[in-house]
C-alpha cells in the first residue's frame, strides 16, 4: 500500500500545477472570446467554460458506465454538484466576496435554471433508476435550456480585451491542461482511496467528485481574483446544470444507473438551494456564508467517511 501511495503523490501535485496554470489561460481566453463575439461574461462562464470544466465529469461518468460502475457515476454527479457550491463557490466568496455582486455576476435566471435542473434530477431519482427514458428526458431539457440561454446571451458591453487568435490558443491550451490535470488528480486520488478500502459510491461522491470539481475551483478562483465575477459564478451554476442534465443523461443512456440512496439526492438539492445567500447585498454575509458552507461540507465529508 505504501508503494501505491508513493507512486500516486507525484501525479497528484502535477495535476494541481496543470489545473492552476490551465485555468489561468482558460479564463483569459474565455474572457477575450466573450468580448470578440459580444457575449456576456456570465453566459460564456455558463456555457463554454462550464462545458470545458465539466468534461472531467463527463469522461469519468462515461468510463464508469462502460465499466458497469453505476455507483461511481451517480456519486460523481451528486458529489460534484455539492462540491461546486459548498467548496468552489464558497472559496470564491471567502477570497473575493465582491466578485459575486459585480456587474454581470448576478445570473439569477441561470441560478433559477440550475435549481430547476436539480429539482428535475431529484424528481427523476424518485423512480429509483436513471434509465434510457430518463436520459432522453434529461438531454431534451438540457437542449431547451441551451436554446433559451443563447437567445438571451447577446451583449454589446466589451468587458475584457480581445487578443485575436491568442484567445483561441489560450482557451484551447488552457482547457487541455485543465482536463489533463484533472485526470491525473482523479486517477491518483482514486488509487489512494482504494488503497484504504473505501466503497465506490463514497469514492465517487468525495474523492472523484472533488477531483473533477477542481477545474471549476481553479477556473472560478482565478476568475474571481481577476475580477471576472460573471465567469466565476456562471461557471459554477453552468457546470452543475451540465452535470445534472447532460452528463447524467449521457450515462443513463449507456447504462441504467440505480439510485440506492435517495437521502444523498436530498442533501444535494439542499446544497443547491444554499446558493442563494451567496448573492446577498452585503459582502460580509457572502463571506460568512462561504465559511459556513465550507464547514458544513467538511462535516458532510466526515460523515460519509464515518469520522463523525
Give the H/E segment covering residue 270.
helix 262-273
Instruction: Decide if pLDDT at 2 tops 70.
Output: no
State the Cα–Cα distance between residues 279 and 161, nearest whole angstrom: 27
Task: Tell me the pTM.
Answer: 0.78
State the Cα–Cα distance between residues 216 and 232, nearest whole angstrom: 9
The whole-number average pLDDT for the span 40-45 is 62
State the Cα–Cα distance between residues 151 and 38, nearest whole angstrom: 13
- Which domains, from first to last, does the chain contain? 41-152+182-304 (1.20.1420.30)
State the Cα–Cα distance between residues 269 and 82, nearest whole angstrom: 8
Selection from 113, 109, 87, 130 nearest residue 247 by Cα? 130
pLDDT digits (tens, 9 = 90+) for 273-308: 999 898 887 888 889 999 999 999 999 998 888 777
Percent over 90 (pLDDT), the chain? 24
Instruction: Decide if pLDDT at 5 tops 70.
Output: no
Give the per-residue pLDDT at 304. 85
The whole-number average pLDDT for the span 226-251 is 81
Amino acid at each position: 500500500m505504501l508503494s501505491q501511495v508513493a507512486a500516486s503523490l507525484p501525479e497528484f501535485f502535477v495535476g494541481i500545477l496543470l489545473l492552476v496554470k490551465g485555468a489561468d489561460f482558460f479564463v483569459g481566453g474565455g474572457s477575450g472570446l466573450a468580448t470578440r463575439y459580444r457575449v456576456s461574461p456570465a453566459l460564456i462562464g455558463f456555457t463554454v467554460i462550464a462545458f470545458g470544466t465539466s468534461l472531467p465529469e463527463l469522461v469519468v461518468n462515461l468510463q464508469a458506465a462502460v465499466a458497469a460502475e453505476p455507483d461511481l457515476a451517480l456519486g460523481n454527479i451528486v458529489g460534484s454538484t455539492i462540491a461546486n457550491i459548498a467548496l468552489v463557490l464558497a472559496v470564491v466568496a471567502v477570497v473575493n466576496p465582491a466578485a459575486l455582486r459585480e456587474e454581470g455576476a448576478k445570473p439569477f435566471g441561470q441560478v433559477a435554471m440550475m435549481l430547476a435542473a436539480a429539482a428535475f434530477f431529484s424528481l427523476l431519482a424518485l423512480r429509483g433508476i436513471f434509465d434510457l427514458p430518463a436520459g432522453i428526458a434529461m438531454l431534451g431539457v438540457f437542449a431547451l435550456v441551451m436554446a433559451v440561454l443563447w437567445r438571451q446571451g447577446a451583449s454589446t458591453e466589451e468587458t475584457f480585451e480581445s487578443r485575436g487568435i491568442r484567445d483561441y490558443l489560450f482557451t484551447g491550451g488552457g482547457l487541455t491542461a485543465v482536463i489533463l490535470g484533472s485526470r491525473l488528480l482523479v486517477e491518483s486520488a482514486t488509487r489512494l482511496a482504494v488503497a484504504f478500502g473505501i466503497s465506490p459510491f463514497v469514492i465517487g461522491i468525495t474523492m472523484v467528485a472533488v477531483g473533477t470539481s477542481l477545474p471549476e475551483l481553479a477556473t472560478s478562483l482565478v476568475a474571481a481574483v481577476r475580477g471576472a465575477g460573471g465567469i466565476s459564478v456562471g461557471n459554477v451554476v453552468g457546470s452543475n446544470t451540465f452535470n445534472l442534465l447532460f452528463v447524467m443523461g449521457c450515462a443513463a443512456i449507456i447504462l441504467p444507473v440505480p439510485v440506492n440512496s435517495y437521502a444523498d439526492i436530498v442533501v444535494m438539492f439542499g446544497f443547491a438551494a444554499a446558493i442563494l445567500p451567496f448573492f446577498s447585498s452585503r459582502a460580509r454575509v457572502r463571506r460568512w456564508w462561504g465559511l459556513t458552507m465550507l464547514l458544513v461540507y467538511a462535516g458532510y465529508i466526515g460523515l460519509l467517511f464515518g469520522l463523525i
